Amino acid sequence: MPSPRRRVLPRLAQTVLTVALVLALGQALAAQGPVRQLLVGPVTTAPPKIDGLIEDACWQGLEPVSGFFQYDPINGAKATEETLVWAAYDQNYLYFAFLMKDSRPDRIWAELTPRNEWENNDSIQLILDAYNDKRTSLTFALNPKGVQKNSVETIWKSGAALRADGWSAEMAIPFKSLRFSAAKLEIWGVNFERYIHRLKETDYWTDVDRDLPKLQQSGELRGLAGLKPGYNLEFFPYAGVRTTKWEEETDTQAAVGLDAKWGIRPNLYLDVTASPDFSEVESDPFIYQLSPYENYLRENRPFFTEGSRYFSLSTGDEYHGGGTSLFYSRRVRNPRFAAKLSGKTGGFGFGVLGALNKSEVGAGEDPRDGYFGVFRVQKDVFKNSQVGVYYAGVRDGETRNQNVALDFNFNFADFYYLQGVAARTFNGGVPNARNGIYQLNFQREPDAGLQVMSGFQRVEENVDIRTGYVDEIDVQSFDLMAGYAWRYDKGLFKRLSFDLGGTFRQDTHGRATGERYEVFLWSELFNLIEVHGGFDFGRSRYQVLGEDDRLVWTPEFVRTYGGNIDFSWERGGFLKEVSVEGSWQKRGIYVEDWTAVVPGTQTGVEAQLVLRPRSNLEWSVEGDWIRQTVDGTGAEAFNGLAYETALHYQLTRRLFLNTRLLGETRDDQYSLDFLVGYYFGAGNIVQLAFKKSERSDILGTVGGYSVTLKVSYLLRL
């Protein structure tokens, strides 16, 4: 008979879920207030030139909207400067014109950067919810130099110009670039966001309450009719040659590849890529391996990053630092071919992905390629909630791994969230028992007032997700954090919060593995300075490598306590960003082969400095230093500094130069990336890249380099 203690958490989960469903249903039935509307007019003259001057005849007969509200610093106040917006359309494009008036035009700030790279600039952003489902949107933004930033990689036209009374901008967005339902053109969701750098002010066209989801507070775009999207087919062929030298071995390869996108319907897209590994993705940063758990690395390949929201769990992989995900695209290391189908219809969002991973044959290994398959469906329910199913599997030679999950994300009363996942993993030769993953998270997180966050997670010992990522197994934990936040409209502080919390951990057999209690203070100042700090204490057992390299828990607890403080200032301009984080912790220190843990001390300092001496030149440097010592003897167990410095020079709008140096001192290794690129049309680019790396080993220094020339061309039908 199970003990009452082990039944408490399931009963609690059932109670919380029941309450959430009742509140969510009530919220779904709540009446909606009036919304602001923008009428889009048909273009009856020549289409606008899209030069940013807003002097074309098509704008003259249209009525603009204005009357923006502050979102920050004073939520709900009238915007300091006036903004006007016009909208028009024809069969091919959706057009917008913007006039951003400014009483101090000499202090308008903009950077000349690659697309999507500017930060803290004066800017205007279009937020377009073409499904009008209050859940999904695309964003298109411009700074005063006309540099684009958008939420998905797509081609659109734009222009911007400085004026005596501020600055102006124009956008022409092809309907081919939008996902929408051709049967529901009457109303689209829309909003506009303006950022004024000198005032650190963010404004929206609608009065956006910080405590409510932004998309729920959008306005409406009305007047679209008779659209015929036609073909939406993009081909992105590329060719290149690469010479690689490592020690005394030299190899030269030529390759061709193809990316393609087909808009089967306005709300259904097929993406295909062949030979996507022949690309100039930045080198991964050096990350020290200080535990037996796998480090989580960010995905940089465009095919896998675009539309990744269709393949994430409702618990949000990014919130757990990797945590648990059924599909971790870095598992597809060297794909020969990959395709994905994604879209949304009838309240269902879905994604299907398949990839053929090239075999990396070693001695005694199976030479056959690996086949990855992913299937994801989510259904919108209530006002702003979803339920979904997930499948991810791989067949690699004779081995097969399959993973399935049910998940949900309920939002009720606007700032209450309940998220959960139940998943199982199946592997050939492994018993289909104790192979589950269960997560339940609850948050009450308004901008100001009482804040509560709690969560339960259980990952059983036979879990092995070969398509995805899991950081720990044989663990269950319960987290509870409560605090209060204050928001101010003037003075030194913009926002303050104070939190108390605790974490209780067990293995999946109910044996205690640790507790941690923490206090945390967070502050944000009006000058964009943030200062955070905290202290924690507790005790912990650790997982070490046992027989057959399986993780086992240490029998003894280690007392833990320590603190951290974090300072950051994202001001923009010459001193663009500076941050420093320091930490000190009494904890368990792993021996070099991770087979044991000893009590010790870990000290760390992480810092970053970003300078922009000119609008088209940026230099950054950052470092992460960690030192570990053993209690009692004071012996140094680890001492290492990982560093990175980068320089970006945008010589013209078409020509750019990037250089990046990464290194670390523990094993005395470094990697140098150098890239020069030239755009000879929208989406067309020629790139010359040089990479060099060296590391030290017991025989001396080993290293090599590669030189790559690549040409890419966009053909759009």
As a whole number of angstroms, the distance between CA 468 and CA 392 comes to 8
Query: Taking 70 as the threshold, does the pLDDT of residue 13 lie above it?
Result: no
Give the least confident one: 30-44, 60-74, 249-263, 476-490: 30-44
CB-side neighbour CA atoms (13 Å) of 303 = 31
Instruction: Name the pairing type of β-strands 123-129 and 249-265.
Output: unpaired
Given this model, what pLDDT does residue 433 score?
Answer: 78
Given this model, what pLDDT does residue 706 score?
Answer: 93
| pLDDT digits 0-9 by tens, 26-54 | 444 443 457 899 999 999 899 999 999 99
- pLDDT bin (cut points 50, 70, 90) of residue 525 is very high
Given this model, what pLDDT does residue 16 score?
Answer: 44
pLDDT (average), residues 695-712: 87
Given this model, what pLDDT does residue 141 score?
Answer: 97
**Helix, strand, or coil here: 674?**
strand
Tell me the backbone φ, ψ of residue 308, rounded to 5 degrees. Answer: -65, -20
Give the least confident one: 358-372, 427-441, 552-566, 697-711: 358-372
As a whole number of angstroms, the distance between CA 520 and CA 535 comes to 7
What pTM, to 2 d.p., does this model score?
A: 0.84
What rounded mean pLDDT belongs to the chain?
A: 88
pLDDT (average), residues 363-383: 79
Given this model, what pLDDT does residue 27 score?
Answer: 43
Quick one: tokens of 486?
């204050």
- pLDDT bin (cut points 50, 70, 90) of residue 323 is low
| pLDDT digits 0-9 by tens, 92-110 | 999 999 999 999 999 999 9
Look-up of token digits 């990014």: 318
Q: What is the sign, positive or negative, of the torsion defined by CA atoms of 319, 324, 327, 330?
A: positive
Given this model, what pLDDT does residue 625 score?
Answer: 97
Given this model, what pLDDT does residue 8 score?
Answer: 38
Given this model, what pLDDT does residue 549 score?
Answer: 85
As a whole number of angstroms, the distance between CA 111 and CA 122 comes to 9
Given this model, what pLDDT does residue 33 score?
Answer: 57
Instruction: Find out whether 247 and 702 touch, Cβ atoms under 8 Å.
Output: yes
| pLDDT digits 0-9 by tens, 219-235 | 999 999 888 766 688 89
| pLDDT digits 0-9 by tens, 462-479 | 999 999 999 899 999 999
Query: Taking 60 as the threshold, does the pLDDT of residue 363 lie above it?
Result: no
Element containing residue 407 per DSSP (H, E): strand 399-412
Closest CA to 501 of 456, 558, 465, 454: 454
| pLDDT digits 0-9 by tens, 483-496 | 999 999 888 899 99
- pLDDT bin (cut points 50, 70, 90) of residue 360 is low
Q: What is the sign, positive or negative, of the torsion defined by CA atoms of 14, 19, 20, 21?
A: positive
Look-up of token digits 């009530």: 26
Closest CA to 66 of 201, 254, 194: 194
Query: Taking 60 as the threshold, does the pLDDT of residue 546 lie above it?
Result: yes
**Helix, strand, or coil here: 710?**
strand
Instruction: Find out whether 594 and 545 touch, Cβ atoms under 8 Å.
Output: yes
Domain-by-domain residue ranges, the chain? 34-222, 289-473
Given this model, what pLDDT does residue 375 score?
Answer: 96
- pLDDT bin (cut points 50, 70, 90) of residue 364 is very low
CB atoms within 10 A of CB 164: 6
Element containing residue 531 per DSSP (H, E): strand 529-540
Q: How does DSSP assign 430-481, residue by residue?
A: S-SSS-EEEEEEEEE--SSEEEEEEEEEEE-TT---SSSEES--SEEEEEEE
| pLDDT digits 0-9 by tens, 287-308 | 899 999 988 888 878 788 887 8
pLDDT (average), residues 59-86: 95
- pLDDT bin (cut points 50, 70, 90) of residue 283 is confident
As a whole number of angstroms, the distance between CA 557 and CA 106 comes to 62
Given this model, what pLDDT does residue 22 score?
Answer: 47
Give the least confident one: 78-87, 125-134, 223-232, 329-338: 223-232
Give the least confident one: 422-431, 584-593, 602-611: 422-431
Residues 6+ apart with CB under 8 A from 195: 120, 121, 122, 123, 125, 201, 202, 203
| pLDDT digits 0-9 by tens, 631-689 | 999 999 999 999 999 999 999 989 999 999 999 999 899 999 999 999 998 789 999 99
- pLDDT bin (cut points 50, 70, 90) of residue 391 is very high
**Helix, strand, or coil here: 4?**
helix
Q: How does DSSP assign 308-320, residue by residue?
A: GGGGS-TT-GGGG
What is the percent of the chain with per-residue pLDDT over 90, rounded to a whole number?
63
Domain covering 34-222 in this structure, CATH number: 2.60.40.1190
